[in-house]
Structure formats: C-alpha cells, structure tokens
Structure 1
Amino acid sequence: MIAVEQWTGEVALLLRSVMRASVRDFADRLGISPRTVSNWKNNSSSVCRPETAQILDTALAQCTPQEREAFRLRLAALRGEPVPSARAEAARPGPCTVVSHKFLPVYLGDRSLPLHESATPRPAGPGGLEQRVRGACHRSAQASTLHVYACGVAVVHLEEHQRVESLTELAVWRYRSYSKDPEWVGERLTRLLATGSGDGQVRGLPPVPQYVLSAYELRENAWSGTGLDTALQLLTTPSVLVNRQDPSNVVPLAPGVEDAKFRDGWTHPEAVAFGGGVSRGVAGWSGVAYHPQSDERALTMSQIVALELDVQALWALSSHILSMVEDGQDPVMPPEYGWRFLRGAYSRLTTARPTETAQHRVMREAILSTSDLPDRLRAAQDALRDSNR
C-alpha cells in the first residue's frame, strides 16, 4: 500500500493525473467542490485539511493496481527519490489469522413474532430496523447470535476464528462449511419456533436460509503493499481458488494457482476497494474483506458487521416480496412494513450523514453497490405500491 504522509495540492493533482479524470469528474468522485481542485493548481504547495486528506487516502485505495503503481512511481520522481522496485516484495501465499463473520438470513413472516418478543432489544443499525437479539448456540463458533427483526426476518451471525497456512485452505473450509451451516440454522430455527408456538408445531415450510454471505477480518499476516491487496481480493472472491463442481467435496484447484494470483497481483473486475489511511478493505458480490489497523480514523469491523446485518435482513425481505411477484401473486405485507417502510430503509442506507467519516461513507457505498440491494429495494417498493392501487 502507498502511504502519503502529507497531501499537498501538487500530490492531489498527481493522483488526478493518474486517474485521467477531468477537474469536475475528480471533484465528483471525491465529493468536493471543483473550485477546491482548481485552487490546488494555483497553490500547489498548500497542505490539504485532515478531512480532505482522508478522502484522498480513500480515493487512492480505490484506484486500480495500475493506477496505484503509476502514482507510486510519479510520487517518487516528484520527491526526487530513487524509484523503488515494484518487485522488491515477493508476494506469495502465507499463513494468516482470519475472523470469519457469516450472515444467514431467512424470511419468517409473522412466525417470527414469538422469537422477537422473547429476545433482548438492540439499538437499530444503519438501516434503522427494529431488531432484537439472542444467542444462537452454534457448536463451534466463537460467537453466534440470532437477530430477529420486527419486519419478519431473522439473521444468524456466526463469528469463527481461523488460523490457516494459505488462503486456499481458508476457501476450502469456507465452502465446506457453507454446505452445513444453512441446514444447522434451519434446524435451530425450527426448534425455536416450535418452542415459541405453544403447541410444539411449526407452521409452514421449515425455515432454511437461501445463501451465506461472509465478511472477513484479516488479522495476523506478513503481507504488505500489493501482496495485501491481492490477499484481500482473494478473501472477497475465494471461488477462484477452489473446484466446486462437487459441492459436497470442494477441493483446491491445481497446485500453484494461489502462487500465480499473488505473483500477478490478481484483482476481481467487479470488486470495490474501500478503506482510508492504513486500513484496507474490499467488497465483492460474495463477501467483504477488511484489514483494520490501529488508527483513530480507521473503520472498525463492528461497523461493517452492523451494516451487513441490516443489508442481509433487507435483502431477505425484498427477496420475499419479489418472489411473490414472480409466482404470480400480489405481494402483501403488513401496513407498517409496506412500501413506505422500504423507502425509509433505502433512504437511511443511501444517504450520507453529517457525522459520517469519509471511510465509512465509501465502505457503505461499496457494500451497497456490490450487494445490488438498492435496486432490489426499489423493485420491491414498486411491487408493493402497485399491489395497493
């Protein structure tokens, strides 16, 4: 990773040049006034304010590997420093410690009411959804919780700590556990629903999550620079490391695949980088990876988890509504969870807050864009609105 100790107007314009952006496009991407960019031209030695420096840190982290390499070389030349070799670091697979956060959402409808009433109230998350929480009692997870939302969705959150010798080993564990976790969640919810029903019976089909999404916190490791970038990319998209033709027996791909990914600085074209300062993160369609550092400006993993809980709950809710439409039914929801409820959640998730840091904003936007949740919420709103006409 490239560290900029002091952002000046000259260095900021250097970043604009490698991004090949116009003044207006560069300003829009950073969320600042075009006048600020123009002022950097007139006063190139001016030192950027701390909040602007954070925004520039984040913009640099979001650049492509090629743009970051160009920035690194030009910055060294600007400073009159010897250009460091891009191959000075031998990026290769290695051992690491990872905290895996799995989210397994399922729509329960009014069947969730007894679970919601018996759980402990919890402050609303970024989506403003009313929720309660109770232990999930997973057999091997370091922590497991069941989040029951008033809108009829339950999300099981499993926190599991893994020490592995390679990211391929972690990917194999991930997919093998994915074949077991939804079944366990279904059995656990079935028992809880039967206990809360009064007659020991569970109405409707057994609740089984349709998918599992993961967020990884990368802790102890020996990577830096492009090696760290590649590690986060592979954590976000582990499917490129394994053979999943037989879901019951996921195995590594041919030997040397992970070595080649590190050697080439592999990136997924649809992954979105976020972070700022010395912390780094990547969001993709199948998960999120984050490497936090001890910095008062850095995001915390708990902030990412809080956002993902609400995102997964709203995904399950909107999926239930859209599945009714696909089945030829008019979607019906309780009035308090109709299209206005979805509109409010959409606004809370997509609108920046005055107290929100630049890193938090970029993280939120990265997760929302890769999850496709905003589009699904709009589609579910339209479906509910049309059914009420």
Structure 2
Amino acid sequence: MIAVEQWTGEEALLLRSVMRASVREFADRLGISPRTVSHWQKNKTSVCRPTMAQILDTALGQCTPEEQEAFRVRLTALQGEPVPSADATARPAPCAVVSHKFLPVYLGERSAQLYAVGTPRPPGPGGLKQQVLPAEHHSAQTSTVHVYACGVAVVHLEEHQQVDSLTHLALWRYRTYLKEPSWAGQRITRLLEQHADSGGPTEPSPVPQYVLSAYELRDNPWTGTGLDTALQLLTTPSVLVNRQDAANVVPLGPGVEDAKFRDGWAHPEAVAFGGGVSRGVAGWSGVAYHPQPNERALTMDQIVALELDAQALWALSSYILHMIEDGQDPVMPTEYGWRFLRSAYFRLTTARPTETAQHRVMREAILATSELPDRLRAAQDALRDNNP
C-alpha cells in the first residue's frame, strides 16, 4: 500500500488523474462536493484535513494495482525522485504521429470580411458560429482558417510526421513554432486583402501569440507504462530539449529520453483521460491521444473540435483581459458581451445528456489544464461590470 505522508490538493488531483475520473465522478466516489475538487484545482498546496486525508487514503486503497502503480510513479516524479518503471523494456523508438497545430488571433471587426465568404461549418462544443477558409500551408496535409462570428480566427494545421524518437519530434515542434505564427499572420492578411472593401485604411498584420498542439499517436511499439510515458512526453516535450536559445533548440543530451522511459516519467500537472482502452493526456501546452481503432472510443475529431472552440475563446477572453491590463474599459458588441461568454462557459463545462463518460473526462481534462474556464469567468465579470 502506498503511503502519502501529507495529502494536499496536488496529491488529490494526482489521484483523480490516475483514476481517469471527471470532477463529478471523482467527487461521487469520494463522497464529497465537486466544489472541493475545484478548490484543489485552484489551491494545489492547501493541506487536507485529517478526515479528508482518511477519505483519500481509502480511495487510493480501493484503486486497481495499475492505478496505484501509476499514482506511485507520478507521486515520485512530483517529489523529484526517479523511480524504476514497471516496463523495463520501454525505450525511445520510431513512431508515427499526426500533429494538429492551433494558432488563434483576435481580429475584431475585420473578421466579418472573412466570415462572409467562408464555408459554413457546424458549431462546435462551445456553440460558436464559424466559417472556414483554406489556409494553403506548404507542407500540411490539411490547413484551414476557422473564422468565428465573435471576431476570432484560428488557423488549424494537420501535419503527419514519421520520427525516429520523441526528441526529434520535439525539435521539429519548437523549430516550426518559430515560423508558424508569422506565416499564419501573413496568410490571414492576404485573405483580408483579397476580401476587404476597397479604400479602407491599411492595418497591421495580425500575429498569433502562441501555438498549441494536439498529437494523435499512431504506429508505435509501446505498451503499458511505456505508452503512458510516450503520451506524457508528447504533451510536455520541453523536458527533452534545451530552449535557452529559441532560434537554436537542441536536444538536452544523449540518454535523456532513454532515462524518461526507464524511470516512467510523468508530469505532475498533466491530467490523463481515456476512451475505452485508448489513452490520452492533457497538459498546459497540448494534448496527446492514442486511439484504439477496433474499440469504441473517442475520436481525434472530437478532440480537435473542442480545441478549436477552446482556442477561439482563449483568444477572445485574452483580448478582453488585455484591455483591462492596458487601463481601458472593455467594450464588445452587445451580441458578444458577457452573456455570450456566459453561454459559451455553460456549454463547455456542462455535461450533455448524450455525452459519453469518456468524452466528459476528455473535455474536463482539457479545460482544467488550459484554465480556460477561469479566464472566461474573469472576462465575463469584466464585461458585466462595464456593460451591465
């Protein structure tokens, strides 16, 4: 039996992660309020009371041997100590992945020019109206610009990669990240120029501020804890490379990836989710998923649909919060004011009657690691204070 000397919010969330339970499912299994789990997410260092610690001890004791082993590995990683992996044969190896990059940018009123000429697309999980235009990326298998009626554009690039190791994939990821925001801004500018009303003033090119990725792990040799480690490294590739010089990202050194597989490395803040026998991990910088095509499971399309809406709302809420930081009163068109944000928040965070448990766990994992719900609430409150 694993002994936890002191339960804090961080250890409690680790337990939820290995159990692959949604907030509500985890609360129900422990017999506590979902608000308590939300409190842990916001206050990870808070120490649990003795009664709560006993509840968590009991829940850990009722976990399967596989869940207890995963908890042990992640707890050890959280404490900064290496631990031998249960899968001693796991090691770096070639694999095939499908990379999905999302580059969001707020366009404001300019988006109407593109929205009017785009191809209609059904609303995603956030209920946001969107139109799609071709992005025409030079190397991506598919590339699209999703233009939202609320004033945001999200460039989506799907690229297929066959790599010798996850370190090689991490290098490709960071090196292309230097180029993609500028390219995306230039592509959106060309679309705006193509469809703009004549005679209008020239505005600076929009440039996305960051890139988020979602990876579908396909052909690979890993099983068990080796597969878990691979998904963790896909989600947080920064542990494999040296990024001190952003223009020259290099591997950390020989043997680093081998050590991660040997030790069963896991990021303590990443949240695992499943889909039948499929496995997934959500982290602050992206999502990794390995579907089992012969099983009833989530599809990558469902993850992409959620990320598109989540990135659009992140860009929108960031624009509102940046106005406040700059000392301005946040003002948005009435139809995209605080009631619009409240509706989007409700759609993203509330389970639907037809939603499977697997989809719910995925949705909650992505939202929890992105911290989007907190940003939406903050932007909503700011707009409501200024435009009641």
TM-score, normalized by the shorter chain, greater than 0.5: yes
In structure 2, relative to structure 1, the CA distance for the partners of 1:88 and 1:309 (3 Å cut) is closer
Q: Tell me how far apart the structure 1 counterparts of residues 209 and 68 of structure 2 sit (CA, whole Å).
A: 33
Q: How do residues 63-102 of structure 1 correspond to structure 2 at under 5 angstroms? A: 63=67, 65-67=69-71, 87=86, 89-102=88-101
Question: Which whole-Å deviations, capped at 9, do the CAs of 1:121-176 have from their partners, x for residues lacking one?
Answer: 11000000000111110000000011000000000000000000000000000000
* TM-score, normalised relative to structure 2: 0.80
- Aligned residue identity for 1:287: G
Question: Secondary structure, in 3 states, of the residue corresponding to 1:175?
Answer: helix
CA distance in 2 between counterparts of 1:319 and 1:241 reads 29
Q: How does 1:355-370 map to 2 (within 5 A)?
A: 355-370=354-369
Distance change >3 Å, CA 186–CA 60, structure 1 → 2: farther
Equivalent in the alignment of 2:149 = 150
1:297 deviation in Å?
2.5
| Aligned residues of 1:60 and 1:68 also touching (Cα < 8 A) | no
Change (3 A) 1:28 1:378: closer
In structure 1, how many angstroms separate the alpha carbons of the residues matched to 2:66 and 2:200? Answer: 51
Question: Corresponding residue for 1:343?
Answer: 342
Query: Which residue of the partner structure matches residue 162 of structure 1?
Result: 161
**Cα separation, partners in 2 of 1:293 and 1:346, compared to 1, 3 Å:** same
Task: Calculate the TM-score normalised by the size of structure 1.
Answer: 0.80
- Counterpart of 1:315 in 2: which secondary structure? helix
Shift in alpha-carbon separation, 1:61–1:328, aligned structure 2, 3 A: farther
Q: What corresponds to 2:116 in structure 1?
A: 117
Q: Map 1:190-205 onto structure 2 (within 5 A).
A: 190-199=189-198, 203-205=202-204
- SS in structure 1 opposite 2:247? helix
Q: Is the 8 A contact 2:85 2:262 kept in 1?
A: no
Instruction: Give the whole-Å Cα distance in 2 for the aligned partners of 1:353 and 1:60.
Output: 29
TM-fit CA distance, 1:199: 2.5
- Superposed CA deviations along residues 288-337 of structure 1, whole A, max 9, x for unmatched, are 00000024520000000000000000000000000000000000000000
Greater than 3 Å deviation, 4+ residue runs: 25-35, 59-69, 85-89, 200-204
* 1:29 equivalent in structure 2: 25
- Name the aligned partner's letter for residue 366 of structure 2: I
Deviations 1:35-86 (A, max 9, x none): 9xxxxxxxxxxxxxxxxxxxxxxx97994644488xxxxxxxxxxxxxxx97
Gap regions ≥5 residues in structure 2:
1-13, 32-62, 74-83
Alignment of 1:1-389 (within 5 A): 29-30=25-26, 63=67, 65-67=69-71, 87=86, 89-199=88-198, 203-389=202-388
Consecutive unaligned residues in structure 1, runs of 5 or more? 1-17, 36-58, 70-84
Q: Superposition RMSD on alpha carbons, in Å? A: 2.6
**SS at the partner of 1:102?**
strand
Q: CA deviation at 1:33?
A: 7.5
Cα distance, 1:217–1:328 mapped onto 2, change above 3 Å: same
Distance (Å, rounded) in 2 between the aligned partners of 1:61 and 1:159: 37
Change (3 A) 1:66 1:304: closer
1:88/1:181 Cα in 2 relative to 1: closer, same or farther (>3 Å)? closer
Aligned length: 331
Letter in 2 for 1:221: N
- Partner of 1:248: helix, strand, or coil? coil
